[in-house]
Amino acid sequence: MSVLPAVLAVAGMGMSFYGTMRGGQLQQDAYEYNAAVARQQAQMTKESGKMAAYRKRKANATFTSKQRALFAKAGVLMEGSPLETITADLATMEMDALILEYNTNIEVSRYLSESEYNVMRGEHAITSSRYSAFSSLLTTTALHSTLGTFSFKGTPTGTPKGKPLTSRPGLA
């Protein structure tokens, strides 16, 4: 009997083991890349939000300055109702800038959560591939040892017990 089945079984186990492990590593790499992209998006969103809040506050200051100039041009004194109006407008405009910052923080938090989730998925992918690879290795070894492809008792692989290696069916 030939040793070819044992060699093929070992080669198949090795390829299956390597393929499963490599697949898990590639999955983890993809998740790590996605995590890095999410972190980058979080940083870009944070910077963009800062700039948007700055522009909003700058526009608010410009509007308030124009409003004061128009009031002054019309001869309105900055006290009483006109002052209360400007103060209320300033508070409303600042609230708009704060809402921009708040919404930016929520979006940044979402991207960072996505990044952490991808890191976790990558860790799970590599762990799962290890369990799968070792399980396949053990299952295949058990199957082939049961079928007699592998011999662990000193009998050469593929040789029926009790028969010499030189005897072949039909030749003895």
Length of the chain measured in residues: 172
Euclidean distance between CA atoms 89 and 71, whole angstroms: 14
Is pLDDT of 151 > 70?
Answer: no
pTM for this prediction: 0.67
Euclidean distance between CA atoms 2 and 152, whole angstroms: 17
Exposure on the CB side of residue 124, measured as CA atoms within 13 A: 7
Residue 76 is which amino acid?
V
- The three-class DSSP label of residue 82 is helix
Residue with tokens 């100039």: 69
Euclidean distance between CA atoms 100 and 51, whole angstroms: 10
Q: What is the pLDDT of residues 101-131, one digit of tens each?
A: 999 999 999 999 999 999 999 999 999 999 9
Q: What is the pLDDT of residues 46-90, one digit of tens each?
A: 999 999 999 999 999 999 889 888 888 888 877 778 888 888 989
